[in-house]
A and B are shown apart, each in its own frame.
Chain A
Amino acid sequence: MAANYWESTQRKFWTFSKQQLAVERKRIEETERNLVNMYPLPDRRLLSIYFYHQLSKMARPLGIRQQALATAQVYVRRFYLKIEIRRTNPALVLATALYLACKMEECPQHIRMILAEARHCWDTSFNDISKIGECEFTLISEMNSQLIIHHPYRSLAELQTQFQLTQEENALAWSILNDHYLTDLPLLHAPHVIATTAMFLAVVLKPTQGGLQGHAAGITSALQTIGNVRNAPGQGTQNRVQKLVDWLAESSVDMEAVVECTQELISLYEIWESYTDKTCKDQIAKFVKARGLDK
């Protein structure tokens, strides 16, 4: 389990194909057809960005670490794969996911502190710890008590030593890992595949190119490099990239999966350009208020 991803509940029960995800989501939407039609929501990735901002806002004053934040993000994603979002108060779900993730990642926070931060950053009206306590039951129950999450950070740390990544490359790879929680990748691929993708992108993109969001173009060229790996191992151009390319070609890492991860990240960075806090906030507020979900 913790050491053994292959035996984990994450691999056995929480890793899907894209098609499976699509089917499952369609099924949930169908059960709430009226709600879905009545309250349109922004793209899932934009919502994820908004959720991430809200989680960070709660986490920062409490000094909560990235790994707990990442676990909370995975919990939220799993939960909304089972429950239609318009039936929930996302503020409560996020606060609860963070509360639970902190316990699981061995950096527990008192439920009152979580409640206080949630109220502070959502100006929400739930003001009772029992709301979080009850939502915790729902969250755990929907996840079938499968709470241990395998993150790609560990694999990245191993790759970093193996390939002697520079500090900048490592930092870039880390932030790519942080970003992948905004996509479905944690439900689609094994942590080592995601870590490999992040490392590869970091090396190919070069950290000097500034902000990440503008990276779609860079990633596209990276994709071509991966294409070369598959077609003609050993034919790369740059030395450093060459070493990686050779390793990728020889390793058992699933190249198709790395390509898929890369594409997923490109489309995240593309859609990110259209992100505004306000749209997400307003559209969520609409169904929450109208349905009295914050009561």
Chain B
Amino acid sequence: MFTGYNTKKRVNERYKIVGFISSGTYGRVYKAEGKNGRVGEFAIKKFKPDKEGELQYSGISQSAIREMALCTELSHPNVVHTVEIILEEKCIFIVFEYAEHDLLQIIHHHNQPQRQAIPARTIKSILHQLLQGLVYLHKNWVMHRDLKPANIMVTSAGKVKIGDLGLARLFYKPLHSLFTGDKVVVTIWYRAPELLLGSRHYTPAVDLWAVGCIFAELLSLRPIFKGEEAKMDSKKTVPFQRNQMQKIVEIMGMPNKDRWPLLAAMPEFGQLSSLAAGNARFHRPQGLENWYQACLKNNQYPPGSSPDNPGQEGFSLLQQLLEYDPQKRLTAEKALQHPYFTVHEKPTENCFADSKIKYPVRRVSQEDNDIRTSSLPGTKRSGLPDDSLIGRPAKRLKEG
């Protein structure tokens, strides 16, 4: 052992790289095929070394450790399955089952060439599967903390799989407040109000807010709260995300102590009152119900109560997910029991069942096919950027 770390498995002996899928803060993802008797398609995530250009072992980042440990432990049909983890000469590869689609790509497809609504049945099935995966995670004390369309995979058989556990962590009796670990979690558009208001001890309810945002986005094909991220200053203090909070308030109205009793205890509570100053829309918010009705109308869901229309139940579910008070917000388990899932017909197990829409396969680039020696992640921008739609906010910051 002390003549060096001896690799037992080699990624190139086991997999043939088909192409490069995407890169992000964590590293790069490749599409691969099994080799030497292994059959099927895979997505291989290669973690970037802690420091760029690091040629020596320098310690694995905490988020990589978390992801490796959680991926090894978790197993559920609605969570991306981890095939194996390969540690090979200073590199870490996590091999996942391959999923042809993700929600970002699906939403994108419905926006082009012209806007065409995602069928109500598809949305119901997606949400149902997503929540089942989330129930499993939360039951096992795992908070995902980065749910967004790009992280929700969909296989060609219409199975929804929660992916990217890079920010996920256990929340059972943490030794330190969660805030101490990662100052910023959840991509800004999907970030719950308690996080925006600086909550130190947030709960799995942050994932349910994100589910609400994703539900809204599946319906309207646009992010519901599309704020602009305030960057961290040089002192690394976390700024108040004024613009994002504004976007929420413009639709949802101001949170208040009647709706959210612990509101005044939020560290950034003081910032809220200054939001309203000089902004007329604060006093006349659109209201979620108006937003919802306008959205159904714009996207031409057939009027009346039918399986082809998300209906009043859809609104009621959305409203209870986008609840300001995290304690009142639906839990994943409660959300699954919502009438939205029982009215009309049961959600299908294949989210594409009864849908005639053909989704394009995942784009892979051929530019960088050598997973072992490829240029360091992030240094070369070939293939798709991190989130393939222009204008998506960059992902999370590294933990401090």
Contacts and interface: CB of A to CB of B under 8 A. Distances in A.
Is chain B a partner of chain A in the same complex? Answer: yes
B141 A2 contact: yes
A4 B140 CA distance: 7
B95 to A, nearest CB: 12
Contacts of A136: 57, 59-60
A89 interface: yes
Contacts of A7: 75
Interface stretch (A52-60, A140-148, A170-178, A243-251): A140-148
Interface in B267-319: none
A241 to B, nearest CB: 30
A88 B85 CA distance: 24
Contacts of A62: none
Contacts of A123: none
Contacts, number: 110
Contacts of A140: 60, 68, 87
A5 to B, nearest CB: 11
Given A103-B62, A106-B181, A146-B73, A133 B68 contact: no
Nearest to A92: B2
A99 interface: yes
Interface residues of A, number: 44
A9 B87 CA distance: 19
Interface string A87-120: 1110010000001100111111001000000000
- A-side interface mostly: helix
A232 interface: no
Nearest to B86: A141
Interface string A131-165: 11111111011001111100000100000000000
B68 A130 contact: no
A83 B5 CA distance: 13
A148 B2 CA distance: 26
A3 interface: yes
Most interface-central of B6, B57, B68 (chain A CB within 10 A)? B57
Given A104-B69, A138-B5, A145-B85, 6 more contacts: A1-B140, A2-B141, A92-B2, A99-B59, A131-B57, A144-B72
5 contacts: A3-B140, A130-B56, A136-B57, A146-B72, A148-B70
Interface of B: 1-2, 4-6, 8, 56-60, 62, 65-66, 68-75, 85, 87, 90, 139-142, 169-170, 172-176, 181
